Amino acid sequence: MNTPVEGFSKLSKTQKIDWIATNCTKDPKKTKQLLQQYWNTDPRVQKLHDEFIENTISNYYLPFAIAPNFMINGDLFAIPMAIEESSVVAAASKSAKFWLERGGFKTEILGTEKVGQVHFIYNGDKNKLSNFFTSVKPQLLKSITSIAQNMEKRGGGINNIELRDLSNKIKGYYQLHCTFETLDAMGANFINSCLEQFAKTLKELALSFNDFTEEEKNIEVVMSILSNYVPNCLVKAEVSCPVSELGNADMPAKEFAEKFVQAVNIAKVEPYRAVTHNKGIMNGIDAVVLATGNDFRAVEAGVHAYAAKDGQYSSLTHARIEDGIFKFWIEVPLALGTVGGLTSLHPLVKVALEILQNPTAKELMQVVAVAGLAQNFAAVRSLVTTGIQKGHMKMHLLNMLNQLGATETEKQLLVTYFKDQTVTNASVKEALERIKK
């Protein structure tokens, strides 16, 4: 058990490693070697990585992969993905190739509005507060002139401020609900700076509002923060083709299409299924979000909130058959940026964006939505035909062999052997033991 440490952040990198290895691991020497093994060989690059976050002692690597052959609105893309899960990239690539021959993916931006809120407590006459807000709204907007001027020059800025009464949920609870356009920036710092200024101005103006009593003048600002729920920052991606083009060796076209639609409908009404269904979508979405230096935790939170917007957690994707045409689509909120943050700092993020032809935030939204839709198509297709484990476990085979310490020759033999055999932990272990004997 380690002991408390004072001033850890002030220690040098070497001292941090010494302390963590000595106090928290069984073999300090081995731990130190392992941590240093993952340092970048270029000291300048390593220093850049060290400064992304606090108390850095090493780098945690994820595979950086490419899923090719994505036709999106008539243009061909190779999509970078950073993820550790087996079969995700393969599944996305398989979907991309399948739809490449059927017209590709079509996308549409439905909105780009971001949200931020000033949460405050006001114990007084509601009508007075409403009148106060109406009178001071122009001053609130004016108070962020210096903060917003650069964003406004590029065509963005504050869209609107609304006073919202939530005192039926918490006594005296109100909010300034603010909407923003942040263009190619994700916009968190800009939005939060505006909100904090709104809060300061709100409190100051309340003190001099003549209609308020002394108690009413003391508005208590609880917090000012952007929201990662962005239901109006929305993108749609879809694919479609005649049902007759969906046939494969595993199932006739009509049966496949009908089963696929039923599977999606089940995810719409059954939350237990919907969570796993949407997790598969996020395999594709998160992998691209991470590869392009965006905040996948924010995206996850917003997407899952959107999946529950109608009162029950439900599928993010939709499918139907109409007049012999199979249609499959997704509408998903994605607050992304292609400037600011890590986009101009992380070397691989720069490469990822270059691979995507240096997209705008809107273009990146469309690529990310397509990755999610492609991933979901592959997963549902497997589920209603061969089952999910057959493909997934074959992709997981190398991981299993590495864990068992197989040599390169043994890996090659077993990859060939399991091309037409069922992959399980037990079967792989048994086959490896046979080869070793």
> What is the pLDDT, as a whole number, of residue 2?
60
Tokens of 246: 């969906």
Q: Of all helices (H) and strands (E), which one includes residue 112?
A: none
Q: Is the pLDDT of residue 390 over 80?
A: no
Which has the closest alpha carbon to 99: 116, 127, 76? 76
Q: What mean pLDDT do residues 190-215 have?
A: 97
pLDDT-based confidence at 393, cuts 50/70/90? low
pLDDT-based confidence at 422, cuts 50/70/90? confident
Q: What mean pLDDT do residues 116-141 have?
A: 98
| β-pairing verdict for 173-181 and 157-165 | antiparallel
Q: Is the pLDDT of residue 399 over 90?
A: no
Tokens of 378: 């592959």
pLDDT-based confidence at 247, cuts 50/70/90? confident
Question: How does pLDDT run across 295-323, given as a tens digit for each residue?
Answer: 999 999 999 999 999 999 999 999 999 99
Domain ranges across the chain: 8-50, 64-109+236-386, 114-227, 392-436
pLDDT-based confidence at 437, cuts 50/70/90? confident
> What is the pLDDT, as a whole number, of residue 78?
98
Q: Please name the fold of domain 64-109+236-386.
A: 3.90.770
DSSP string for residues in 343-374: GGT-HHHHHHHHHTTS--HHHHHHHHHHHHHH
> From start to end of 233-334, where are the E strands?
234-242, 317-322, 325-333
> What is the pLDDT, as a whole number, of residue 212?
97
Q: Is the pLDDT of residue 342 over 90?
A: no
Angle, nearest 10°, between helix axes 28-37 and 13-24? 140
Q: What mean pLDDT do residues 247-269 have?
A: 93
Residue 80 and residue 66 in contact, taking contact as beta carbons nearer than 8 Å: yes
> Spelled out in words, what is the top-level CATH class assigned to the domain 114-227?
alpha beta
Residues near 318 by beta carbon (within 8 Å), at least 6 away in sequence: 264, 268, 328, 329, 330, 331
Q: Is the pLDDT of residue 397 over 80?
A: no
Residues taking part in catalysis: 85, 279, 295, 392
Ranking 33-47, 218-232, 325-339, 402-416 by mean pLDDT, the lowest is 402-416
Q: Of all helices (H) and strands (E), which one includes residue 248?
A: none
> What is the pLDDT, as a whole number, of residue 209?
97
Measured CA to CA, the distance from residue 87 to residue 378 in angstroms comes to 10
Quote the pTM value.
0.89
Question: How does pLDDT run across 37-80, given as a tens digit for each residue?
Answer: 999 999 999 999 999 999 999 999 999 999 999 999 999 999 99
Check residues 415 and 291 and name the one with the higher pLDDT.
Answer: 291
Check residues 143 and 345 and name the one with the higher pLDDT.
Answer: 143
Check residues 390 and 323 and name the one with the higher pLDDT.
Answer: 323
Q: What mean pLDDT do residues 231-242 have?
A: 98
Q: Of all helices (H) and strands (E), which one includes residue 297?
A: helix 296-307
Q: Is the pLDDT of residue 412 over 90?
A: no
Q: Is the pLDDT of residue 219 over 60?
A: yes
> What is the pLDDT, as a whole number, of residue 404?
83
pLDDT-based confidence at 195, cuts 50/70/90? very high
> What is the pLDDT, as a whole number, of residue 293?
96
Q: How far is CA 103 from CA 74, 196, 253, 430, in A?
A: 8, 48, 18, 45
Q: Is the pLDDT of residue 217 over 60?
A: yes
Q: What mean pLDDT do residues 28-36 have?
A: 95
CA angle (413 as vertex; 410, 418 as ends), nearest 5: 115
330-363: buried (b, 16+ CB within 10 Å) or exposed (e) per residue?
A: bbbbbbbbbebbbbeebeebbebbeebeebebbb
Q: Is the pLDDT of residue 155 over 90?
A: yes
Helices (H), 55-187: 88-100, 126-142, 145-153
Q: How far is CA 188 from CA 38, 261, 340, in A?
A: 31, 38, 10
Q: DSSP character for 403?
A: H
pLDDT-based confidence at 3, cuts 50/70/90? confident
Residue type, 59: N
Check residues 426 and 237 and name the one with the higher pLDDT.
Answer: 237
pLDDT-based confidence at 196, cuts 50/70/90? very high
Q: How many CB atoms lie within 10 A of CB 178?
A: 25
Q: How many CA atoms lie within 13 A of 202 on its CB side?
A: 31
Q: What mean pLDDT do residues 393-401 have?
A: 69
Q: What mean pLDDT do residues 349-374 have?
A: 98
Tokens of 191: 């939005």
Residues near 406 by beta carbon (within 8 Å), at least 6 away in sequence: 414, 432
pLDDT-based confidence at 31, cuts 50/70/90? very high
> What is the pLDDT, as a whole number, of residue 386?
79
Report the chain's mean pLDDT, rounded to a whole number.
93
Residue type, 185: A
By CB atoms closer than 10 A (0-12, 13-18, 19+), residue 271 is middle
Q: What mean pLDDT do residues 120-137 have?
A: 98
Angle, nearest 10°, between helix axes 188-207 and 126-142? 130
